Structure 1
Amino acid sequence: MSDSGPDDDTAFSRLVFELNLIARHFPTTTRRRPGFQLDRSAFLILTRLGLSEPLSLRELSEAFQLDISTINRQVGAMLKQRLVERVPDPEGGVARKIRATADGLAALAADQKHRAAGIGTVVADWDADDIAELSRLMGKFNRSVEEIEHNPWPRPPRREV
């Protein structure tokens, strides 16, 4: 890719601009917004735990590419809120694993529903094909990042429509 200046009007420079702009629509914490129960880190950790078996702090650290002390602090706050719990390794390993609690999954489901309603408002007048195309392209973009970083993210099973 060639270097694009701020005044360059190529498709690539517009993509970079729009990806930077989209970040402002998802604030660092959603707890300040009415209707949300979880802060950003709890939302993301619970989302990850909801897609797989329980994970150790090290596995979470690797998944999020964060220092283990950061993950430990975030999980510690979630333990106090009873959003997650420590459980023995189902495979018999020494390290304890972190698993979402029923309360954590309920809060996640509520926040996901609230977030979906907000996105639904944004795309309410969009054609279904445009929504499907954006979803496809966002998925392609995310999978490309994951491939470059060697850090695949599990995805929920596709629902048949």
Structure 2
Amino acid sequence: MHEGGNGDERRLPSGTAPSGADPEYLSLERELTVLLRRARASQGEMAREVHPDLESAAYGLLVRLDECGRQRATELAAYIGVGKATMSRQLRALEDLGLVAREPDPADGRAWLVHLTDEGHNRVGKVREARRGRYVSQLAHWDRREVAELARLLGQLNRGMER
């Protein structure tokens, strides 16, 4: 563990569990708070780039469909962490904007699969490409191994939070 970013390693006495008051966890909380605040603001901007009438929260749905393809609304609701009613409302709005469409699920005629329309795929793709370009620009002074390590650590954090 590092304290204050100066490279000094601080070890807890054997058998001592870390607490949220330890400097490492205080620093983690502070930095994640800043990152999440910026991510929320950025998500709103990206949503408006896809379509001026798109709600910020719906951008994540579009990205999920772009990455995973056709999905049931219940799968999307579980992934995003919202109820069925909220998901239905968001999907209806996305359909009205021409960004998603539904089709019967061939595995279960009672269910529907949601997917990006060609228009939705094109718009989301342009915004995601521009976002990656901003990351490249903002992190151009980083060593690629540092970028890879950040991605690895964020992936590890995300997997740990899914439990």
TM-score by length of 2: 0.78
Letter in 1 for 2:122: A
- Matches of 1:17 and 1:137, distance apart in 2: 17
Corresponding position of 2:66 = 50
Contact 2:62-2:124 within 8 A present in 1 as well? yes
Q: CA deviation at 1:41?
A: 2.7
- Matches of 2:75 and 2:148, distance apart in 1: 32
Q: Does 2:15 match 1:2?
A: no
- Matches of 2:153 and 2:72, distance apart in 1: 32
Letter in 2 for 1:2: S
Give the alignment of 1:56-67 within 5 angstroms: 56-67=72-83
Corresponding position of 2:147 = 131
- Matches of 1:3 and 1:47, distance apart in 2: 33
Q: Any unmatched runs of 5+ in structure 1?
A: 149-161
Higher relative contact order (CA 8 A, sep 6+): 1
- Pick the aligned partner of 2:33 from 20, 34, 42: 20
Corresponding position of 2:137 = 121
Contact 2:104-2:113 within 8 A present in 1 as well? yes
Q: Any unmatched runs of 5+ in structure 2?
A: 1-17
Corresponding position of 1:72 = 88
Decide which structure has greater strand share: 2
**Superposed structure 1 runs of 4+ greater than 4 Å apart:** none
- SS of the equivalent of 2:115 reads strand
- SS of the equivalent of 1:87 reads strand
Contact 2:19-2:25 within 8 A present in 1 as well? no
Give the alignment of 1:97-116 within 5 angstroms: 97-116=113-132
Please report the RMSD computed on the Cα atoms of aligned residues, expressed in angstroms: 1.9
- SS of the equivalent of 1:124 reads coil
- Matches of 2:118 and 2:47, distance apart in 1: 23
- Give the number of aligned pairs: 141
Counting aligned pairs with the same residue, the percent is 28
Q: CA deviation at 1:131?
A: 0.6
Report Cα offsets for 1:2-56 as digits up to 9, x if no partner.
131xxx6x222111110011122221511587xx225433321122112334222
- SS of the equivalent of 2:101 reads strand
- SS of the equivalent of 1:86 reads strand
Decide which structure has greater helix share: 2
Letter in 2 for 1:3: G
Q: CA deviation at 1:114?
A: 1.4
Structure 1 or 2, whichever has the larger Rg, is 2
TM-score by length of 1: 0.79
